[in-house]
Amino acid sequence: MLRSTRAIFAAVLVNISYAQKQPCCDTLTASTISELVTYPSQLAYNASIASYFDGKSRLTPNCIVQPKTAEDVSTIIKVLTAEELSVPCRFAVRSGGHTPIPGSNNVDDGVTIDLLYMNSTTYNAETQIASVKPAARWGSVYQTLEPLGRMVAGGRGSTVGVGGFLLGGGISHYAPRVGLSCDNVVNFQVVLADGSIVNANKTSNADLFRALKGGSSNFGIVTRYDMETFGNEDLWGGIVTYPASTADHHFKALVNFGLNPDRDPNAALIVFQGYSTASPTDVVRAAFDYTRPVTRPDAYKEFFEVATNISDTTKIQPMSAIAAEFGSDTTKRVQFRTLSFKIDLATIQETARLYKIVITELQAKASGQWRVSCLHQVWATSYTANSTVRGGNVLGMERYIENFIMYQSYLSWSEAKDDELFIGLGKMLTDGIQKFTTEKGTAVDYLYLNYADKDQDPLMGYGDDQVAFMRVVASKYDPTGVYQRLMPGGFKISHV
């Protein structure tokens, strides 16, 4: 009994010391949402930190507050921006916690607003609209909608969170059919900098509606996404792994696939090279996703010419099962980087040459468990063909009249001591590709925000006119710059 009392007293002292260190946490604890605040050493705090996708992002906020409603979020923002506070309250907002950039969804010496409990999906049969809360994971969204015979254009991995994905644009397996995921949002419920809760759609706050589709966390905290749905049916898809010696064949097939003006709108795929210490063989993989229940459709005929494979998981299955295959664990440290280039075989081959250099370096120097994946996928102009009639977005894709390749390097590793090695090699890889594309004339300015690293500038890649528009919207809805000054993480329009 005495030991238990001492433990409780020690925990109280820890919480008091953190509250004294950070008046912002003290003020939250004294407010009407005090029961939503958790401190270091408490179970809820520790569980939140441990659940981040990227180990580098497990920072140490002075406290974490976990709202359950939009009204809770409103209260939190009002408390953190109150004039009588003696210090400015720095904060971060976490939806799914999948962005692997430290500071983008967590904060040291500040407050993390963890939307953990705002994770439900509901469906309105009359309007055929799915209302999705920001911390839902796409796997749970699909599992909710599939029994109802409905589907949305969401993330391709089950563990990816809804919020950041949609605010960054969002590419789904259904993009060739229904466009980008953000353009399938018909309404955003948003908590603005003054704590007011508003709706943004084509007829109400239409400028904010457009800015949120690609504009990331610059304008407010989105607490609900209302999305168009469409009829659900099983897909044919999965991942086929081939020997590395077949890479050139797959690259040529990808070029033809991307340039085909009559491309089947049900067909999507990703071609990627990969190496892992768990299975130390250099391979090339094709992730096929055909949004009809048709086995081995003709859209992939050229890829199927390679008869020999190492493994094949393709089958007719629901979207939730395909997304589960793309799910990610939370046991590694992660780096994403991205760039885009014209559909050009020599450029793709150069990415493969630089990839091999990276693998060789890591084999010689890295420790623990690690893997490297380098992904090539077609970004089609059809993805945004109907964007304007849906209220528009800020991605600036109307500049492009040809399809292009969107590239992502995805490095993960287990040892913190190797951070500098992996981060440096990841940057060397994309810098090398960028140099080649610039010299060859195949560079494309666009950077997909959801794959960008902290030193990259995806907002600038939208074009000067879109940057100017976002600045106007940010000034209108956040005139004191709360989401620029106090929420420093992420890609900020004020930094462009």
Asked, for residue 471, whether it belongs to a domain, the answer is no
180 with 278, same domain?
no
What's 453's domain CATH number?
Answer: 3.40.462.20
Give 279-328 as a DSSP string: EEEEEEEEEEEESSS-SS-GGGTTGGG----SEE--EEE-HHHHHHHT--
Residue 6 has pLDDT above 70, yes or no: no
Range of the domain at 128: 121-231
382 with 447, same domain?
yes
170 with 271, same domain?
no
- Total domains, the chain: 3
For residue 496, what pLDDT is reported?
A: 80
CB atoms within 10 A of CB 484: 18
pLDDT 10s digits, 408-447: 999 999 999 999 999 999 999 999 999 999 999 999 999 9
The answer to whether 200 and 190 have CB atoms below 8 angstroms apart is yes
d(CA 25, CA 44): 15
183 with 274, same domain?
no
The mean pLDDT value for 363-380 works out to 97
279 with 142, same domain?
no
Residue 158 has pLDDT above 80, yes or no: yes
Asked, for residue 3, whether it belongs to a domain, the answer is no
Task: Give the model's confidence band at 13: pLDDT under 50 very low, under 70 low, under 90 confident, else very high.
Answer: very low
For residue 22, what pLDDT is reported?
A: 80
pLDDT 10s digits, 57-89: 999 999 999 999 999 999 999 999 998 888 899
Among 90, 114, 138, the domain boundary falls at: 114
End-to-end alpha carbon distance in the chain: 58
Output Rg (C-alpha) for the chain, integer angstroms.
23
d(CA 141, CA 222): 17
Residue 5 has pLDDT above 80, yes or no: no
**Of 59, 73, 60, which Cα lies nearest the Cα of 114?**
73
323-352 exposure pattern, b = at least 16 Cβ within 10 A, e = fewer: bbebebeeebbbbbbbbbbbbbeebbebbb
292 with 398, same domain?
yes
Asked, for residue 9, whether it belongs to a domain, the answer is no
139 with 109, same domain?
no
Q: Is 74 helix (H, G, I), strand (E, B) or coil?
A: helix
Residue 21 has pLDDT above 90, yes or no: no
**Of 285, 290, 158, which Cα lies nearest the Cα of 236?**
290
What's 208's domain CATH number?
Answer: 3.30.465.10
Secondary structure of 103-130 in the HEC alphabet?
CCCCCCCCEEEECCCCCCEEEECCCCEE
Asked, for residue 353, whether it belongs to a domain, the answer is yes
The mean pLDDT value for 14-25 works out to 60
For residue 352, what pLDDT is reported?
A: 98
Task: Give the model's confidence band at 400: pLDDT under 50 very low, under 70 low, under 90 confident, else very high.
Answer: very high
The answer to whether 372 and 410 have CB atoms below 8 angstroms apart is yes
329 with 389, same domain?
yes
186 with 265, same domain?
no
Phi, psi of 262 (to 5 degrees): -105, 30
For residue 330, what pLDDT is reported?
A: 80
The answer to whether 227 and 186 have CB atoms below 8 angstroms apart is yes
Mean pLDDT (the chain) is 94
Residue 47 has pLDDT above 80, yes or no: yes
Q: Report residue 442 as tokens.
A: 């195949």
Among 170, 203, 231, the domain boundary falls at: 231
Residue 17 has pLDDT above 60, yes or no: no
What's 52's domain CATH number?
Answer: 3.30.43.10
